[in-house]
Amino acid sequence: MSNFSTLIMGTMRLGLWGVNYNTQQWQEFIENCLELGVTTFDHADIYGDYTTEADFGKVLKAQPGLRNQLQIITKCGIRRVCKQRPDHRIKSYDSSKAHIIWSAENSLKELNIDSIDLLLLHRPDWLMQPDEVAEAFHQLQEAGKVKAFGVSNFTPSQFDLLNDRFPLVTNQVEISILHRNSFEDGTLDQCLKHHIRPQAWSPMGGGAIFNKGGNEQVNRIQDVLNPLSAKYNATPDQILLAWLLRHPAGIQPVLGTTKIERVRAAVKALEIQLLQAEWYDLWQAATGKKIA
């Protein structure tokens, strides 16, 4: 993962579940991201009801030279009910060897690529057989179909259970100033212990932090954000990204925007180095408590 960009571009809202870009718009967006140094793209097989990988793949089929300029993450393990998967009777999780291998091979086909840079199990499966998952990972890696593996939304104990069988390179979890569980539940400590970089989905907390006249917590955070924005000549979202980037685990935020202007703004957050006291000022505003 050393070649992954610090900021990761999420694709969930670029397809059917969002702006539904056509192939030309996809290509322009991808190329603009690459110019900005955002070279890693985050997928999941279920995005767009199993259509977004194929949308992205149309660009790579038309412009195969782009493949060597970017890295692809995708996820599997959720059986979503939709017309594209008529055999899925109920929404469920599936981490069986057969499903993982089939999903990875299908993603390769949809994306028009020879190998996936990083494959994640999308959600914890309470029926997971860790040895069976490890067998699937070994088989895919030995075949050159997947370069590295990780998980998403796993607890520290669930991560350890699988990591003991096969080395994982990340845990993609929800992290933002409004969702701070990973700071206290051992997730980020575990990443530091194993020298792996966590990935943060919804790093802006779904945008609730920018609501004017929000709840007391949002108001407290905005009262701290505003002077910091003025000090660093930055927007509040840039400060919040810098807040995540300040953590020693090396958090990699997954951007959820559909606008290249927002990506361009996010890149500027890489230049902001918050002071330790400023980081804790935001923490205390979020918790509503002075640290002990």
Active-site residue set: 47
Judge whether 7 and 267 are in contact, CB under 8 Å.
yes
* Residue 244 burial (10 A CB sphere; 0-12, 13-18, 19+): buried
- Please state, in angstroms and rounded to a whole number, the distance separating the CA atoms of residues 214 and 256: 22
Cα 20 to Cα 11, 12, 16, 75, 85, distances in angstroms? 10, 10, 5, 20, 20
**Nearest residue to 200 (alpha-carbon basis) of 157, 246, 235, 137:** 246
115-140: burial string, b at 16+ Cβ within 10 Å, e else? bbbbbbbbebbeebebeebbbbbeeb
Instruction: Give the single-character DSSP code of 221.
Output: H
Half-sphere exposure of 289 (CA within 13 A, CB side): 3
Give me the helices (H) in the chain, please.
23-35, 47-50, 52-62, 97-111, 130-142, 156-163, 181-184, 187-194, 216-232, 236-245, 260-268, 276-287
Kindly compute the dihedral angle of the four CA atoms of residues 93, 40, 197, 283, in this order, to the nearest 10 degrees.
-90
